[in-house]
Structure 1
Amino acid sequence: MVAIAVTVLHEPVDPEALGPWVDVMRADGARNAGFVDCVASLRGDGDLQQAVAVSFATETQLHSWLDGESRRTVMSDGETRGIRRASSDLVLVDGQATPPGVAAFRHPVAPERDAQFLAAQTELVRISARFPGYEGTVVLPVDDRGERLSVIRFRTARQLSGWMESAQRQGALPTLRSTLERDFSTFTQTTPFGTTVRVEDGQTRLTPGWKSAMLVLLVLYPTVMLLSRFVGPLFEGLGAGPWLTIWLSQVLSVSLLQWVLMPFAVRAMRRWLDPVDGAGLGVTVRGVAIVVAGYVTTLAVFALVTWLQYWDYS
């Protein structure tokens, strides 16, 4: 999972001032845990917006840097160079929904097709500008996945949806696709219980239900066993009847799965759960093997470690 802060800049931007300032921001970010990269957006022939994108390994690390004093100093330094923000920072986190009115697309650009790709993006900008609520498009350089990222902003989610479904956009997509090695895709969004949602050219793809079920079982079984061993007796010792003890244990179990355990498991099995990246036979088999190994391990632990066998304790 990668978290990206996109800072759209007020036009015009002096390119001679921008480069050194991006270097300052990159150096500042690199002093913080989880820093991945800092890049300036691509300009094409000028219709694309100028922006700076800083990425961190996690959202928490990104926000820690964004809220830090050193970053405020960097932004003040930019203002002295004539570089100012055009809007508030846009935060994108792979695995989470984009902000309302914002769409982010990954583009695996074919070798030696960069110029054609930027020209296609520029044409999309000219088409998009005719739609109500359009606020701009940013295209970022190749990331660690070897893909370019384009970010388009509309004032509202409804206006974005209207553009996404428009005949004008559909008519411009073949030219864009001709510059790619494979079709573009959106940022993924993963639910707390292991279903990854991915949209490609308007078609929604979901993690197969059996994968989500396998992962939930892997996390749920040891959770229930440990709660039954350690928390259930605590509730009973406080005077709770079995009917209340089970209910309280279930509340705790669901809470742990929702906000702690499943998010961790989803991050660890992210590629396997992805309906596109994890669709291949090799990835699928390896993921199944890992989950089954987890089943065997937890079953062996609770079968052999008598201290964990709650039924022997009252």
Structure 2
Amino acid sequence: MPEHVHAITAFHSAGGVAEFRDWAEELLASAQAAPGHTSGRIAVDGDPVLDRAVAVTFSHEEQLHRWLDGLDREEVLRRGQQRGFWRSSGDVLLADDGPMTLGVGAFRHAVTVGGEEEFLRMQVRLARAAAGQPGYEGTIVLPADPRGESLSLVRFRTERQLEAWMRSAARTEALSGLRATLRKDFSAVSNTTPFATTVRTEDGRTVMTPNWKSAMLVLLVLYPTVMLLSRFLGPVLDGLGAGPWLGLWVSQIVSVTAMQWWLMPAASRPFRRWLDPIDGSGARISAGGAVVIVVLYAVTLTLFATVHELQFWDYAT
């Protein structure tokens, strides 16, 4: 079961910004009082084309659903309806590794200091371009989280309509200027496995990162991991009297554990777009990422070939 599950709910609202935010704080307070709650945000309300929305985050999916289905939230929503705040769609569920609701595209943005206004203007521009596409249901922009990343969500009726928008010339044109407002390129929130395979849905079918990309990234992490364990963990195991058969087994346990939970997720992060089977499918992106990894191969090979202290075969001399 995924951790850190988010629920984002969009609302129709006849009232003003201040009135909606006042009621939205009640909804956030209801979530905050529930077990497992970790944070909550009210969507940016800078233009009528952007949806008014409330986002809450829970540690576990079960706890989130307990609050979503609870009487306390139902009562807050009822009071909101009396004030003219009605849900405009079902709850959008989002895990840290990708949307759990079909037809939703989610994107992280590290906005430059002082670039918030221009970033919001670009999001409005994207929302207006998307509004002309079949199946479009709305755009939500959430303010920066504790990591300093804003989140935008675009909602379509079906996954196929979302993918058509993602590949459209209208989106490409509307994206012009967005990257200038960011500290780094935006990234799609998608399901990337610990061993560098991103899973997406396109036209009702599952698509995954090409095997050659996953293999290149795994090798980039595996080689220095094995070299360092051989240099530093190997002598410790030898000193404890472990035979080569046991030492290699323990070393493999350590390497697989480190790669599964720490090293591969960290290495995959800067290559998220390259690994994406849809956003990274272009020849230019694929070739560019491959060149970067080959350069990193050369750097690691040079490092272990020239730094005597890292050469496990020579550590005793």
TM range (shorter): 0.5 to 0.7
**Does the CA contact (< 8 Å) of 1:41 and 1:139 recur in 2?**
yes
> Would the alpha carbon gap of residues 12 and 5 (structure 1) be closer, same or farther in structure 2, given more than 3 Å must change?
same
Deviations 1:123-164 (A, max 9, x none): 111111111111110000111221110000111111111111
Shift of 1:272: 4.0
2:63 to 55, 61, 64: 61
Q: Which amino acid aligns with 2:149?
A: E
**Partner secondary structure for residue 109 of structure 1:** coil
> Would the alpha carbon gap of residues 197 and 211 (structure 1) be closer, same or farther in structure 2, given more than 3 Å must change?
farther
**Partner secondary structure for residue 57 of structure 1:** strand
> Would the alpha carbon gap of residues 88 and 126 (structure 1) be closer, same or farther in structure 2, given more than 3 Å must change?
same
Supply the distance in 2 between the matched residues of 1:107 and 1:271 (Cα, whole angstroms).
Answer: 23
**Partner secondary structure for residue 178 of structure 1:** helix
Map of 1:49-198 to 2, 5 A cutoff?
49-191=51-193, 194-195=195-196, 197=198
1:273 to 245, 265, 273: 265
Identity, in percent, stands at: 38
Q: Which amino acid aligns with 1:277?
A: R
> Would the alpha carbon gap of residues 70 and 11 (structure 1) be closer, same or farther in structure 2, given more than 3 Å must change?
closer
**Partner secondary structure for residue 9 of structure 1:** strand
Deviations 1:252-309 (A, max 9, x none): xxxxxxxxxxxxx89x82674254437799xxx9xxxxxxxxxxxxxxxxxxxxxxxx
Shift of 1:172: 2.2
> Would the alpha carbon gap of residues 115 and 278 (structure 1) be closer, same or farther in structure 2, given more than 3 Å must change?
closer
Structure 1 spans left out of the alignment, 5+ residues: 215-264, 286-314
Give the equivalent residue in structure 1 for 2:235. none
Deviations 1:196-225 (A, max 9, x none): 5289xxx967583469999xxxxxxxxxxx
Shift of 1:60: 2.2
Give the equivalent residue in structure 1 for 2:8. 6
> Would the alpha carbon gap of residues 171 and 33 (structure 1) be closer, same or farther in structure 2, given more than 3 Å must change?
same
**Partner secondary structure for residue 125 of structure 2:** helix
**Does the CA contact (< 8 Å) of 1:2 and 1:58 recur in 2?**
yes
Normalising by structure 2, what TM-score? 0.63
Shift of 1:189: 0.8
Supply the distance in 2 between the matched residues of 1:29 and 1:80 (Cα, whole angstroms).
Answer: 20
Supply the distance in 1 between the matched residues of 2:119 and 2:173 (Cα, whole angstroms).
Answer: 16
Instruction: Indicate the RMSD between aligned Cα atoms, in angstroms.
Output: 3.2
**Partner secondary structure for residue 6 of structure 1:** strand
Deviations 1:20-58 (A, max 9, x none): 222212222122222122221112232111111111122
Structure 2 spans left out of the alignment, 5+ residues: 201-207, 224-256, 272-292, 301-317
> Would the alpha carbon gap of residues 116 and 69 (structure 1) be closer, same or farther in structure 2, given more than 3 Å must change?
same
Give the equivalent residue in structure 1 for 2:274. none
Q: Which amino acid aligns with 2:29?
A: A
Supply the distance in 1 between the matched residues of 2:219 and 2:75 (Cα, whole angstroms).
Answer: 49
Supply the distance in 2 between the matched residues of 1:270 and 1:71 (Cα, whole angstroms).
Answer: 37
2:35 to 33, 36, 41: 33
Supply the distance in 2 between the matched residues of 1:270 and 1:50 (Cα, whole angstroms).
Answer: 36
1:23 paired with 2:25, answer yes
> Would the alpha carbon gap of residues 92 and 139 (structure 1) be closer, same or farther in structure 2, given more than 3 Å must change?
same
Where in structure 1 do 4 or more consecutive aligned residues deviate above 6 Å? 211-214, 278-281
**Partner secondary structure for residue 10 of structure 1:** strand
Q: Which amino acid aligns with 1:128?
A: A
Q: Which amino acid aligns with 2:79?
A: D
Q: Which amino acid aligns with 2:41?
A: V
Give the equivalent residue in structure 2 for 1:305. none
Shift of 1:106: 0.4
> Would the alpha carbon gap of residues 270 and 78 (structure 1) be closer, same or farther in structure 2, given more than 3 Å must change?
farther
**Does the CA contact (< 8 Å) of 2:221 and 2:267 recur in 1?**
no
Supply the distance in 2 between the matched residues of 1:270 and 1:74 (Cα, whole angstroms).
Answer: 40
**Partner secondary structure for residue 54 of structure 2:** strand
Question: Number of residue pairs matched?
Answer: 228
